[in-house]
Amino acid sequence: MVLRAPRGALSGGEVRFNDRYAWEGTDYEPLRNHAPLMRYAIDGALEYWSADLALSPPRIRYRFGLDTADGRRWYGWDGLRDTAAPRGAFEFAYVREGDLPNSPEWARGATFYQVFPERFARSSPGHRRGPVDAWDAKVSNRSFLGGDLDGIVEHLDHIASLSVDGIYLTPIFSSPSSHKYDTSDYFSVDPDFGGNAALRRLVGAAHERGMRVVLDGVFNHAGAAWAPFADARRRGAASPYFDWFYWRGSGAGGLGYETWATNVATMPKLRTSEPALRELICGVGRFWVQEFGVDGWRLDVANEVDHALWRAFRSSVRGANREAFLLGEIWDWAMPWLRGDQFDSTMNYPLRQSILDFAGAGAGGAAAAGDGGALLDGIDRMRAAYPEPIQPFLYNLIGSHDEDRALTVLGGDRQRLALAIGLLYALPGIVSVYYGDEVGMAGERQEAGNRAGMIWDARRQDQRLLELYRRLGVLRRSLPALKVGGYERLSADGSVVSFARGVGKDRLAVVVNGGQSEVKRRSTQRVVERIAYGDAATDAGVLPPLSVTLYR
């Protein structure tokens, strides 16, 4: 149970409850069971109080007992009362198993590596049928460097060195573009990437190393070259596919059909409520999981597609593999998709903003660099937004193909980047590493500079940064408290913040110094790890500037 209240309005309280079928004579039995309310999270002017209830069977009638300045008041659906009367209390009919999150256990606290295939690695001799630019050329959305799936296979040792559990590939299906978000054939891997056979090789090689493979599914829109769209555009209402799209008048851009974003001619929007189209999309999802051993899907522009499709898609994919992982691209509050019937996770961009603001993002950030209270409030905002079982599966990131590189956001300051990385690895949820971030790549999203060719020349790679990523991967994999443990807010004092992670008897304190100066700290606890760029003091009582320190 979680209750939201104005900050400072409550000093404590409890939940009092009973089985909703408990009667005494012909009336409700008094609410006899108790569970204490504990302050769970803080977000600016709001705070959240929670209680853990043991229910058997899982059905309940309950009231919140709230300790206010006026004494204890009892809150139910009938408002505030002076007594814990069972009549008028809240009720939850039954905690139904089918309504609960059931994410695959392998993804809990996992580490993912995101690959943009066209720019990651070109195999020898390569598969690209057309001309290619120099690998280190300045790129745009019109550039082709010739990266392919066999190139990824050839560099799986690099990915595995980061203690990666899963690889997320941006779209790989046939498409005329380099980014592949304009699909022309959902059942064919683009020949420039090596075709379907190359995907089999990649999935097999990744599985041999204990890594899963997740594909990018683009079902909000298709490509203009997709055969059903071409047929519908040519034949109009006579086409059996005509109702798969949104046809508009010829004004306002003159396309005559709705697209992703605004008049992007190459990406006609799909009408996913059409039964035949829905069946096709569900079939695509099932096909690649069932026939190629793919381990899940990241679903593009997921909040512009109707919920009914995603429910059907989940059933179809999970029918092929009960352990398949479903990740939605949703940039803000995503609870409507995370109720156990659609996705296992969504991309946690709000946390990215909180981390980068604290680490020192440029003008336009929501908080001043090093504002510890704002950082912990941002983390608590996320914790209050999602039930506890969902949080280990949230897809946390500081880099992606849709945002400026984290190093660019932080003005090229590698110490600040190390601070952001340390926070990413220290917080609950999935960790995502965007290709190239680990070797110090920079670039803005304008003209796709954040999608440049991966730096493979070791002389041009930031080896200290790469080693930091590798150390953090090993640390997270070896410490259950860090990978799957719970979270507790401890303190914020200017630019110095602390929180705890723990599972069972294993407990870690994480202390972060987001300031520019060394901070003295009295501590007899053993330092587990000091996360900073370059050399850092090893004295347990010293917090170097722009660093994260883990204590046991």
The answer to whether residue 300 is catalytic is yes
Helix (DSSP H) and strand (DSSP E) numbers for the chain: 12, 28
* Element (DSSP H or E) covering residue 275: helix 275-292
The C-alpha atoms of residue 169 and residue 517 are separated, in whole angstroms, by: 40
Pairwise CA distance, residues 76 & 62, whole Å: 7
| 502 phi/psi in degrees, rounded to 5 | -160, 150
φ and ψ at residue 302, rounded to 5 degrees = -65, -30
Residue 406: what residue type? A
| Catalytic annotation, pick one of 190, 329, 377, 403 | 329
CA–CA distance, 464 with 533 (Å, rounded to integer): 7
Cα 500 to Cα 487: distance, rounded to the nearest angstrom: 6
Q: Mark whether 329 is an active-site residue.
A: yes
What letter does residue 221 receive in the DSSP assignment?
B
- Region of residue 146 (phi > 0: left; psi between -120 and 50: alpha; otherwise: beta): left
**Do 468 and 434 contact (CB within 8 A), yes or no?**
no
Stated as kind and residue range, the H or E segment containing 506 is strand 506-513
What is the bridge-based pairing of β-strands 395-397 and 345-348? Answer: parallel
Task: Encode 436-450: b = buried (16+ Cβ within 10 Å), e = exposed.
Answer: bbbbbbbbeeeebbb
For residue 88, give both structure tokens: 């008028």
Of 300, 344, 403, 438, which is the active-site residue?
300
**Residue 398 gets which letter from DSSP?**
S
Let me know: does 451 contact 139? Beta carbons within 8 Å: yes
CB atoms near residue 43 (< 10 Å) = 19
Q: Return the closest-CA partner of residue 519 out of 372, 411, 398.
A: 372
* Residues whose CB is less than 8 angstroms from the CB of residue 51 and which lie 6 or more positions away in sequence, other chains included: 1, 14, 15, 35, 36, 37, 38
User: Please, which residues have CB within 8 angstroms of residue 57's CB and are 6 or more apart in sequence?
Assistant: 19, 94
The structure tokens listed for 315 are 């059933």
Residue type, 386: Y
Cβ–Cβ under 8 Å, residues 405 and 370: no
**What distance in Å separates the CA atoms of residue 89 and residue 79, rounded to the nearest whole number?**
9
Q: Are 99 and 105 in contact (CB under 8 A)?
A: no
Q: What whole-number distance in Å separates Cα of residue 207 and Cα of residue 166?
A: 10
State phi, psi for 287 to the nearest 5 degrees: -60, -50
- The sign one gets for the Cα dihedral 222, 224, 225, 226 is positive
**Active site amino acids:** 300, 329
